[in-house]
Amino acid sequence: MPELPEVEVVRRGLDPAMSGSVIESVLVHDPRALTRHGGGPADFEAVLAGRRVLAAVRRGKFLWFPLDGTDKALVGHLGMSGQMLLRSPGAPAERHERVRLELRHPDHGELVVVFADQRTFGSLAIDELGPTVDAAPGGAGSELARVPRQVAHIARDPLDPAFRDRAFRDILGRKKSAIKRVLLDQTVVSGIGNIYADEALWAARVHPETPAHVLSTRRVNRLLAEVRSVLQKALAEGGTSFDAQYVNVNGQAGYFAHSLNAYGRTGEPCPRCGRPIVRVSFTNRSSHFCPRCQPPASLTFFHAPA
């Protein structure tokens, strides 16, 4: 599933094309792409047609596009395999194309945005915007302190200027769940999925099953720093692509997969100590870590002064 870097790459690619554009027409090929939308295809098309897009905004793994003259936004979630692709007018249908938006930009002229999704777990929807609980901008790409209702429960991500480290540490201090489980909880911190959780935990030398509440302030700060470092590096490298399902708006793959230290490297030597990386089951996923660099938690060790 695309994580923060992949979705932010898409947002940055869409922003110059969609911001300021008028949606001239909408074609829904597959109603399954509207599972989060309260109405059907006709309603979806009617609300969008003729509206001007104000911005491309992201929080966690959600994208949204506020609509001028309304309190609504077009909301997108890529799911497992969703893609938002920029195409020229009259471009042939994409494989797995679900929705097509035909736009007119004041500077760039006619453009097409295609929502394609092989597995149909992604979605588009029209949703109302509500005020943010902290009065800070709703997400990356906009100064508007509003967020779609269906995104309001999603926490801020560690790259968001409004993210509060102290509040995050306080939450971890009350969590007895494994730290990796907490990192994947989008109501605690957003944008981190399986890949970047494994990478950040490896970099911070924290075992994924360490109970969150036993981590000292110093180790939480180190972990947050490594999360940010991993996300920023992945963003700079265009995200992580293992197959053709994640691509940017031009259909190009990211190359952060070549920089991974733990995820997907089962049996390969740890880049730090040389011991083989191991893979263990974790809910419906897997965890990858170095048993030497990331030993199981010791309450005595982790309760040492920060």
Distance CA 184, CA 186 (A): 6
- Active-site residue, 285 included: yes
- Torsion over CA of 123, 154, 52 and 90, rounded to 10 degrees? -30
Which candidate in 59, 61, 98, 146 is catalytic? 61
What are the residues whose beta carbons fall under 8 Å from the beta carbon of 44, sequence distance 6 or more? 26, 28, 34, 37, 124, 125, 126
Query: Is 175 a known ligand-binding residue?
Result: yes
What is the enclosing helix (H) or strand (E) of 117? strand 109-117
- Active-site residue, 72 included: no
- Closest by CA to 37, choosing from 12, 64, 14, is 64
- Closest by CA to 77, choosing from 18, 33, 109, is 33
Quickly tell me which residue has 């011991």 as its tokens: 275
- Active-site residue, 3 included: yes
Encoding tokens for residue 223?
A: 């972990």
What are the residues whose beta carbons fall under 8 Å from the beta carbon of 120, sequence distance 6 or more? 30, 32, 33, 79, 98
Query: Is 149 a known ligand-binding residue?
Result: no
Which candidate in 3, 6, 97, 102 is catalytic? 3
Query: Is 96 a known ligand-binding residue?
Result: yes
Distance CA 129, CA 136 (A): 14
Binding positions are: 96, 119, 175
Positions annotated as catalytic residues are 2-3, 61, 285
Residues making up the binding site for DNA: 96, 119, 175
